[in-house]
Structures are given as structure tokens and as C-alpha cells.
Amino acid sequence: MLTIIADRIHAQLRESDLVAHLNGDEFAMLLVPINNTKNVLQIADNIIDCMIQPVILSNDERVMTSLSISIALYPDHAMTP
């Protein structure tokens, strides 16, 4: 399940971006470079849209997912990278 979700997220990112599994059901993404907030919001919308489709398990069972996204931008939301 986590692999499928990670693949879906990764497919929405650019080659220069990074996705990492933190723990449990948490992922983090590092998007570099970001020229404006609009770009980040578009990527977040794309990730949300790709999660609408159910995950099909090996026994053909369908699992619906949900997610929340938080966004932090440097230097707006932090003193150091």
C-alpha cells in the first residue's frame, strides 16, 4: 500500500524533487526550485487528484485513501533551510 502511494506521489513531482517516507503513513516532499507559491499549490492539487482513485490490492480488494497536505516555504516559514 505504501509503495503504491509513494509511486503515485512521485509521479506528480519533477525530477529535481524528492519524496521520502517518514513513518507510518507520513510522507515528506522537498520541491526545488520553487519560483512561486502557485507552483506548490498546483503540485499539491495534482497529488490530491491522483489519490482519488482507489488502490487495488492483490486480492482485487479496493481501498480508498485520503490525505492532508501541509506546505512550508523557506524563507517565509523558517529561519534556516
Q: Which helix (H) or strand (E) holds 27?
A: strand 26-30
Q: Does the annotation count 25 as an active-site position?
A: yes
| DSSP code string of 42-78 | HHHHHHHHHTSSPEEPTTS-EE----------TTTS-
End-to-end, the C-alpha distance of the chain in Å comes to 31
Q: Most distant CA pair in the chain: distance in Å?
A: 48
| 29 is a domain residue | yes
Which residues form the domain of 10? 2-63
Percent of the chain at pLDDT exceeding 90: 49
Query: Is it the case that residue 59 has pLDDT exceeding 90?
Result: yes
* Its pTM surpasses 0.85: no
Domain count, the chain: 1
Give the domain CATH number at 54. Answer: 3.30.70.270
Catalytic residue selected from 7, 25, 45, 49: 25
Taking a C-beta distance cutoff of 8 angstroms, is the pair 40, 73 a contact?
yes
Predicted local distance difference test score (pLDDT) of residue 28:
92
